[in-house]
Structure formats: structure tokens, C-alpha cells
Structure 1
Amino acid sequence: MTRQKLVATLYSWTKSNSLSVLLMALLFTGIASCKSEKTTFLSTNEVQLAPPSIQVDSALFIHSALVQVQLAENGSTLRYSLDGNPVNESSAAYTQAVELLNSAEVRVRAYHPQFTASEERTIRVRKLTHDISQAWVELEPQPNTSYPGNGASSLTDGQKGSVNFRQGGYWLGFQENQIGVKMKLDADFSPRKIILSMLQDHGSWIFLPHAVQVHSNGKIVGSKEMTNSSVSGDKQLQYIEIPVSLDNNQEFTISIHPLQKIPDWHPGKGTLPWTFIDEIIIE
């Protein structure tokens, strides 16, 4: 049957049917055409493997953490690195869950002889060298009532939030020009590094701060500037490390300085961004 005859036949039938408009639209866009089309097939080496998933029982740990990797594609080989270096075909093969005794940046990639290697997946797992769960902590101001976590204690409980910040109640969310965290440690040691666990999720208007300072006895004892906090980036968890010089049991204040406004490239340009923090780590 020619295209013209098919159109005429269907047009006659659809005059009394409610589907006439839809059918005619399909015909004239070529979806219902009788014309045959040549089918094109991809070769297997043009198909990329789906990336593997990484699961860890605790992103922050005191003694050890267990990392597991999963991939559905049969015949694939999973390869990984723990030192932050990119994964390649010579990297260690994953055969069973990996126990970590130290901090690591776990990177994983899937390989298959008939397909293109997957994209790399990464997760950072950190060992807590000091338990500060009993430290005195005070927040000024308090977190937004929409994201209160468990108050100030959320910052020292060793519980890590995920990129899905709405689940778990681990994150403290602020929409402020400045955030202050006052602390005094219970343990008898001299900190040399303060690490803030924070979230970047530009799609949810959550940005990293542009600067962090640590004050003690009226002096700045450590600082860090984030020059890329206003640049568009992927959703990710971030550890911001600030070298400090503090004496034993010294009281100090962490001053977090968010961006003053969301940059022009973002739909929320000109407004105050959100700042999310879920943990403070002392080393």
C-alpha cells in the first residue's frame, strides 16, 4: 500500500473517532510511515559499561571500615585503587570486600573484553584518629529549622551524611552570612589539622564556603580559602582541611564564610546560598 492510500484510508476511518488528531499527527511526522528505514547496530566496543556501585559500612571510622563493590554485568572485571590514583587495567582486581585500616580514597572501574570500560566511581573513607564526641561545642547561629540535624552534637558524633542530604538527619543546613562553631576539646592533645566535612550540591543551591578561619585568644591560628567554590561543579562530599597551631585543651572558634551570593551562572543568582556541614574532624 502506498503512503498516499494509507493516509486516505486512515483519514476516512478517523473522522468518527476521537484519535483522529493523534493519528494524523503521527502520520505526518513519519512515525506511521510505510517507508522502511535502515536499522543501524552499535558494535560492542561502542557500548560503555555502567559504572559499579561502592558501598562502605562507615565513611568515618575509628578501627576499620569495609568497602564492597557491585556490578551486574557478567564477565566484567572490577579494578580499584586506594591511594587516589586513577584506575587502569593494571590496577588491583576486586574479588572480595576490602577492609580498610587507614584513610583512603577508593576509586573503582569496570572492565569487559567486549565493551568500553565504565566511568570511574570514587568514595573517600577517613579514619578518625581522635574521638571528640565529648568535646564542648556551641553554634552561632543555630542551623535552619528545616535541616537541624541533632544540633551541635551532630558535628562530633562520627556519623557521616551522604549526598542525599534529606535522609538520615546528619546534616546541619545554614543560610547565613557567617557561621561560628566554638569548641573546646576534652582530649589532651595539640591539634594540627581541623577538617570540615561539607556538601556541594549546586542543583539544591548548596555551595561550599569561600573561606574558613580558626581563631583562638583573639588570633587567627589557621585559615583556608576555596577559590573554586563559585565555579559550577558536580554534587559531591568535600573535606576541607585547615592546618592549625593550637595548644592542649585550647578553646577555639571556627568561622565559616559562605559566598555572599549565588553566582550569575546559577538560576538562583544573587541570593544567599545554603551551607551544609555534618562533621568536624580533629587531627
Structure 2
Amino acid sequence: MKQRAITGLFFIIVMIGSNLLGSYVFSVFYLLLSLFCLLEFYKLVKQGGMQPERFTGALAGVTLFFFFAANCYFPAYKYIILLPILLSFIPIGELYKKSEAPFTNIGFTYLGLLMAVVPFMFFHAMAFTRGDGVFNFHVPLGFLIMLWSNDTGAYLVGSKFGRNKLFERHSPKKSWEGFIGGILICAFAAYILSNFYTEYNRFDWIIMSLIISNFGTMGDLVESMFKRSLNVKDSGGILPGHGGLLDRFDGLLMAAPIVYAYLYLISN
């Protein structure tokens, strides 16, 4: 428990620091984080007997994140033509491997990009939602605070009052009581944030909290389903007492793209 608490405190400090130290630190940090999550994904898949194109997939992931992150600073979409060329190397690489299931390997290579890189691209873009190239850490930091509030609320309420299983087949410990508790505490965190971060009104922050609570939980369940399909408990051991990086960021999987889509629509 002590090790878990120390790791958790260190993790929170690093995550908050990545938001407060300026746009370049923010961009580089989440580029590296998405890369590490992708490599962790490929490692898990390899344990399941598949052989994803790790090098080409990692190169495509870094390129994908870089182009979309660079576009937050200057018009970079004209260079995106390089991405399809790079992505085509993934199936081409399978031609030179002796594999019994080449398209399974190709599919998991692409799936890694979708699960480990794309969510962080949208999370990164939250800091530039106004479209004027100005970095603002309020939304991504607020997102993390609401995500942590939801997880904490769901754990505390579920541990105390949990009786009815939410999705026992994929996550036996989750309960409807915990799910509702997470929603309420996440919404309360959004209410507090709206008093300090006034770029968006209180209603918008509450909507963001509801998206995070619902789709963050769905992302958690999808990641649990993925691990169960590979018969592994944790995605990795890089965070002692907490598992792997994918375990810590499963809430971003679906929540980040949808929160960004909501912010983009109301900002434009």
C-alpha cells in the first residue's frame, strides 16, 4: 500500500507538471507517453502470440502524433501526405516475415495506433481548442482532475456501497453504485473547476464531466476486455502498485476524443 501511494503521488506530480511547464514540454511529454503506451500495447500483444510490426508501428505512431501536434503551432497538414506512405510499410513488412497470421499482425499493429496514440492526440489538442495557436493548460489539466475524481469516486463509493455489478464479465469489481458515485464526484469537481477556469461556462464543464464519467468507464472496460482476451492482469509493471501505463490511461481511450469533439464544436 505504501509503494502504491508513493507511486501514485509521483505520478500525479509528473502529470500536473507536464501541464504547467509550457507548451513545448507538454507536447514532447505526451509524444513520448503515447510512444511508451504503444510499445506497451505491442508487448502485450506479443505475449498473446501475435507479432505486430513494432518498429514500423512505433515510427508511424510518432509521425502521426507529431504532425497533428505540430498543426497546433503552425499549418502542418500539407505534410500529412507522408503518413499514408509510412502506414503502407506495415503490411509490406509482413511480406518479408514468415507468419501464419499476417493480417492478424497487421490488424493489431493498426489497433495499437488507435488505442495508444490517437487518444493522446486529442488530449494534446485540448490545450489548443481555441484554434489560435495559444497554449492553455486549463482544459487538459481539468480533464485529468475530473478523470481522477471519477476513478476515486467510483472506487470509494463502490467499495462501501457496491452491490450490483456493472459489467461483471469484463470487470467483476465495478458496480452501478460506484459508477453513479464516480459521476457525482466528477460533476462536483467540474463545478469547482468552472469557478477558476472560466474559458468555458459551468454547463460546459458539467457536460465534460459526464462525458468523462461515462466514456472513461467504457474505456476502462474495453481495456479490461483487451487484457482478459490476452489472459494478463496488468498491462505492464512500469508503475509499481499500479500496473502499466495503459492501466493508468484507459479512461482517455474514449473520453479524450469525445471531449475534444464537444469542445471543438462549441468553440467554433
TM-score when normalising by structure 1: 0.28
**Greater fraction of residues in strand:** 1
Between Structure 1 and Structure 2, the one with more helix by share is: 2
